[in-house]
Chains A and B, each alone.
Chain A
Amino acid sequence: AQKVTQAQTEISVVEKEDVTLDCVYETRDTTYYLFWYKQPPSGELVFLIRRNSFDEQNEISGRYSWNFQKSTSSFNFTITASQVVDSAVYFCALFMDTGRRALTFGSGTRLQVQP
């Protein structure tokens, strides 16, 4: 069975601070994919990144960066110089190309960025 754990329920930071959102996953498959989604107060799900299990390179996209470490089964997400518009719930999700073929989501981390 697969599982995604986002231990941080809520994080509050002040604008311009850096913040890291943790994601730990469990799966017995060797081929899998990890995702991050953003859910702003308006409710829609915004796709941020997809990473497959064979690509452990870290990725940077503007103020966003992701650290994938298979050794610790973690896929952490860092926002540099946070902004008020980053306030949202962030979900980490796991996907396997076998079996159910559906996303397994973590419980989300609510990020509040104060001005």
Chain B
Amino acid sequence: GEEVAQTPKHLVRGEGQKAKLYCAPIKGHSYVFWYQQVLKNEFKFLISFQNENVFDETGMPKERFSAKCLPNSPCSLEIQATKLEDSAVYFCASSQSPTANQPQHFGDGTRLSIL
């Protein structure tokens, strides 16, 4: 598609439950980035992929967070045993290459609310 599609728009989970977010990058874009925006507007980079391979995961909390980009499927970000602090908007972005000449296009985000 012509836009980065993130689903669902809003996800509500009880503390301790699992949450799974999806991102379909723009067709032809081989790089996918996940960012977390917490309530005070701070953006945090989580992980990036080049096709199905992890490109950079240095921002990813390893204990409960995992992510995948499999061929012919939307990319996913999964949080196990959610905590209140995981409440945030999670943005996905895609680009043709990981350089600024091909800027990242952002989806509309998934708002995750942990109760």
* Interchain CB contact under 8 A, A43 and B43: no
Size of interface on B: residues with Cβ below 8 Å to A: 24
Interface size class of A (residues with CB under 8 A): 20 to 34
Chain A, residues 82-115, CB within 8 Å of chain B (1/0): the string is: 0000000101010101001111110110000000
* Interchain CB contact under 8 A, B42 and A100: no
A91, B41: Cα distance in complex, Å: 9
The stretch of B11-19, B61-69, B99-107 in contact with A is B99-107
Central interface residue in A37, A45, A52, A108, by most chain B CB within 10 Å? A45
* Interchain CB contact under 8 A, B100 and A52: yes
* Main secondary structure on A side of the interface with B: strand
Interface residues of B (CB under 8 A from A): 33, 35, 40-43, 45, 48, 55-56, 58-59, 89, 91, 98-100, 103-106, 108-109, 111
Interface residues of A (CB under 8 A from B): 33, 35, 37, 43-45, 47, 50, 52, 89, 91, 93, 95, 97, 100-105, 107-108
